[in-house]
Amino acid sequence: MFDFSEEKNYRTYKAGETIFTVGERGYDMYAVIEGEIEIRLGSNYISTARENEVFGEMALIDQKDRTATAYAVKDSTVAVICEDRFRELVKDPDFAVDMMRVVSSRLRTEMRIKRELSHEASLRAVGISVAS
């Protein structure tokens, strides 16, 4: 992934702090400089972002509300990437390809989760108990 260590805008979060919440309007994406960020939808684990990995990009790209909640698992420092900075970065073909891979991975994860939830709902509909 891209090296974000030279970014100018940083925020720090203590372990357990919320970075953003599902449903919030998203104007920025984030890149982990140090620490670990967990992405969840309710009690469902989605992913973990580690050093030089991004999160929150979907709301920035499609200008919609956040689809999940992000928490600092450890004390963390993140680079904050606003839309103007994102537009500068995406001119670099390597960054653009990296971002397409990230978004593709997010879509695959979302599709997998939906399949699993749909399968569980189908089992419950026919009276088969499913462990939560």
Q: Mind listing the pLDDT tens digit for each residue in 14-48?
A: 999 999 999 999 999 999 999 999 999 888 888 89
Domain that holds residue 70: 10-125
What CATH number has the domain bearing residue 40?
Answer: 2.60.120.10
pLDDT value, residue 88: 95
Strands 37-41 and 44-49: antiparallel
pLDDT band at 122 (very low <50, low <70, confident <90, very high): confident
Domain membership flag for residue 28: yes
Domain membership flag for residue 27: yes
Q: How many domains does the chain have?
A: 1
SS3 132: coil
pLDDT value, residue 130: 67
pLDDT tens figures, 80-121: 999 999 999 999 999 999 989 988 887 888 788 778 777 777
pLDDT value, residue 110: 76
Query: Among 77, 66, 62, 64, which Cα is nearest to 10's?
Result: 77
* pLDDT above 60: residue 132: no
Structure tokens at 98: 């990296």
pLDDT value, residue 44: 82
Domain membership flag for residue 117: yes
Domain membership flag for residue 87: yes
Domain membership flag for residue 1: no
Tokens 């500068």 locate to: 88
pLDDT band at 76 (very low <50, low <70, confident <90, very high): very high
Domain membership flag for residue 131: no
pLDDT value, residue 42: 85
Q: What is the mean pLDDT of residues 8-18?
A: 97
